[in-house]
Structure 1
Amino acid sequence: MRTVSNCVEDILITQPYLEEALSRNIINFSALALELTEPISKMLKKDVKPGAIMMALRRYNPPPTLGNSIKMKRVIENLGDITVRSNLTDFTVKNSDTIIDNHAKILDRINQESKLFYTFTRGIHESNIIISSSLNNFIHENLKNETFLAVQEGLSAISINLPQNNSKIAGLYYHFFKRLAWEGVVLYEVISTTNEFTILVEDDYVDKAFAAIKKVKS
């Protein structure tokens, strides 16, 4: 049988910003209880008093990953260089029997220029190439028999070097996504390797995105 506490937990889990604010004691419990009275009453299919909700809010224990743990602080303090690359284009093509062979031709061309920005990701149904815009014509020519699903120019990549063992820290990426969302930055793509994290944004957002990530680091 579901209880008021169960409903409060379900709502907070789906709203991490609200959950974090609650864990930092910067929310008015009484006002939040009033706000949640109607949705929780609908969830339980009966009238629920704000007092019962406020009690459940005060008793709620957020996951420890939302707290500023020593490990998390250490990782944030040891973030490496932040690198920005502009003039990029994102190509998304449908997977096919020829995409790998055509991609090999692109790799041969890239090996001739070490300063080019390039990433390739193969998904279940589609593949993604992010590359310096100077090679746009070359990509179009070598993938002319492929099915383009999307092409977006005018992009910039912001890469952050992460400390080793960062994959053992729960909630690390949440700090980046939270700050970027608060600043109103729209992410076009997210790319991640073991010790490097890259976001791709339209040029209009690059300054705001860079400043947001600097705030996380500082």
Structure 2
Amino acid sequence: MKTISSVVEHYIKKKPFLQSALAQGIINLTSLSRIVKPEIEGELGKEIRNGAIVMALKRLSDDLEFRATHKIIKVLKNIGEITVRSSLTDYTFLASDSILGQQAKLLEAINDNQDIFYTSSRGVNEINIVISNIMDDTVETVFKSEKCTQKAEDLSSITVKLPAENVSVPGIYYFIFQRLAWEGIVLYEVISTTNEFTILVDDDQVDIAFKTIKDLKTL
């Protein structure tokens, strides 16, 4: 049997930003109850008092704050070093039978220069390369026979080292990316390994992106 609490919880869980805002206590529950009331009444097939929805929202927000936020904040307080690199270029090439051979040639070209930033990821249909812009001419020469679908310049990367327990706590990445979204930061790429991730942003947004991530340690 459907209850007001279960229907309200289902409604909120379909809206991640709303769920997070409830957990942080930054939403007026009375105003929210008036907005969601028609949908809740439609789901239950009867009229409901605003007060009943407010109570359901209050219980849910208290529960969300404990369940969704407590463990995440504990992990984020232990964020390790945050490394920023600037003057990067982001290339996207269509996957082909020859492109891995071209990547091998590029790796040879940068192998002796430890100051070069380089990372690559492969999807089903395309390959992405992020590299220091001093290597642009080399990349374009090596990959001249490949199809480049996108090239973005004047980018910076922020690499964040996460504590090992990040793999066992759900919502870590959502929590971080949500705050970056709230600041209006556009992510060109997200590259991750088990215990660290790298985001690629415009040079003019790197300062606010760095501050946003750094501030997570003081939540």
TM-score (norm 1): 0.87
State the percentage of identical aligned residues. 45
Aligned to 2:91: 91
- Unaligned 5+ segments in structure 2 are none
Q: Which amino acid aligns with 2:153?
A: E
Shift, 1:147, TM fit: 1.3
Q: Which amino acid aligns with 1:66?
A: A
Aligned counterparts of 1:191 and 1:111: Cα–Cα separation in 2: 21
Aligned to 2:189: 189
Q: Which runs of 4+ in 1 moved over 6 A?
A: none
Aligned counterparts of 2:103 and 2:140: Cα–Cα separation in 1: 12
When residues 11 and 191 of structure 1 are mapped into structure 2, their CA distance, relative to the original with a 3 A threshold, is same
Secondary structure of the structure 2 residue equivalent to 1:62: helix
Is 1:131 the counterpart of 2:131 in the alignment?
yes
Shift, 1:114, TM fit: 1.2
Of 67, 70, 74, which aligns to 1:68? 70
**Counterpart contact for 2:24–2:65, Cα < 8 Å:** no
Q: Which amino acid aligns with 2:179?
A: R
**Deviation readout 1:160-204 (Å, 9 max, x if unpaired):** 112223212222223321221222211111111112111100111
Aligned to 1:57: 57
- Unaligned 5+ segments in structure 1 are none
**Counterpart contact for 2:190–2:198, Cα < 8 Å:** yes
Q: Which amino acid aligns with 2:70?
A: N
Q: Which amino acid aligns with 1:19?
A: Q
Secondary structure of the structure 2 residue equivalent to 1:184: coil
Secondary structure of the structure 1 residue equivalent to 2:70: coil
RMSD between aligned alpha carbons? 2.3
Aligned to 1:110: 110
Aligned to 2:201: 201
When residues 108 and 63 of structure 1 are mapped into structure 2, their CA distance, relative to the original with a 3 A threshold, is same
Aligned counterparts of 1:23 and 1:74: Cα–Cα separation in 2: 15
Aligned counterparts of 2:86 and 2:23: Cα–Cα separation in 1: 38
**Deviation readout 1:122-168 (Å, 9 max, x if unpaired):** 11111100001111111111111111111101100011112223212
Q: Bigger shift: 189-198 or 172-181?
A: 172-181
Shift, 1:25, TM fit: 3.7
Aligned to 2:36: 36
Aligned counterparts of 2:6 and 2:83: Cα–Cα separation in 1: 44
**Counterpart contact for 1:164–1:195, Cα < 8 Å:** yes
Aligned counterparts of 2:119 and 2:73: Cα–Cα separation in 1: 30
Secondary structure of the structure 1 residue equivalent to 2:64: coil
